[in-house]
């Protein structure tokens, strides 16, 4: 009797593991079917036909209940990661610069290049077509991690 209960509980455990931990791998499903089959076989062999049929019904009901309970949304929320990542690989230029800041081009902007604004080097995009090296530019906007600049007249 205890072997049957143990095999059914192991089958439920492997079934849940297949659904949540190893989806698509089928190892948990194979082990669950083996445990369920062993429990049913042992019930038929040692206790007779009535006990075997009752074991089949118990296996089906317990499996259905465990699958429904496992797939409910709130069941596994306690294990879910709720932390959000707000960090970036580098600070956004709009946090350090303001529109209207003046700097100098380090390389030719055609349309992308490097500018030096306030002693720091930024990746810049030209609002004009091309801006030559060592020209004065001013910040007119921001796009992703790039500074949009225009040549100062």
Question: Residue 59: which residues within 8 A CB-CB, separation 6 or more?
Answer: 8, 11, 36, 39, 40
How much is the pTM?
Answer: 0.49
Q: Summarize pLDDT for 48-62 with one digit per residue, the tens.
A: 999 999 999 999 999
Is residue 118 a contact partner of residue 103, using CB atoms and an 8 Å limit?
yes
* DSSP summary character for residue 115: E
**What share of the chain has pLDDT > 70, as a percent?**
94
Q: Summarize pLDDT for 105-134 with one digit per residue, the tens.
A: 999 998 899 999 999 999 999 987 899 999
Q: Summarize pLDDT for 29-43 with one digit per residue, the tens.
A: 899 999 999 999 999
What pLDDT does 80 receive? 66
Residue 109: name the closest of 93, 85, 133 by CA: 133
Q: How far apart are CA 114 and CA 105, in angstroms?
A: 6
What pLDDT does 27 receive? 87
Using CB atoms within 10 Å of the CB of residue 47, give its burial: 0 to 12 exposed, 13 to 18 middle, 19+ buried: middle
């Amino acid at each position: 009797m205890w072997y049957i209960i143990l095999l059914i509980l192991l089958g439920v455990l492997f079934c849940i593991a297949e659904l949540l931990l190893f989806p698509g791998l089928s190892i948990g499903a194979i082990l669950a079917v083996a445990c369920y089959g062993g429990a049913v076989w042992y019930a038929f062999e040692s206790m007779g036909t009535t006990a075997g049929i009752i074991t089949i019904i118990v296996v089906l009901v317990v499996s259905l209940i465990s699958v429904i309970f496992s797939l409910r949304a709130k069941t596994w929320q306690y294990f879910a990661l709720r932390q959000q990542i707000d960090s970036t690989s580098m600070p956004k230029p709009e946090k350090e610069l303001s529109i209207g800041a003046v700097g100098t081009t380090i390389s030719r902007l055609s349309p992308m290049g490097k500018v030096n604004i306030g002693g720091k080097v930024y990746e810049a995009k030209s609002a004009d077509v091309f801006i030559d090296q060592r020209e004065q530019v001013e910040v007119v906007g921001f796009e992703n991690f790039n500074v949009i600049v225009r040549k100062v007249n």
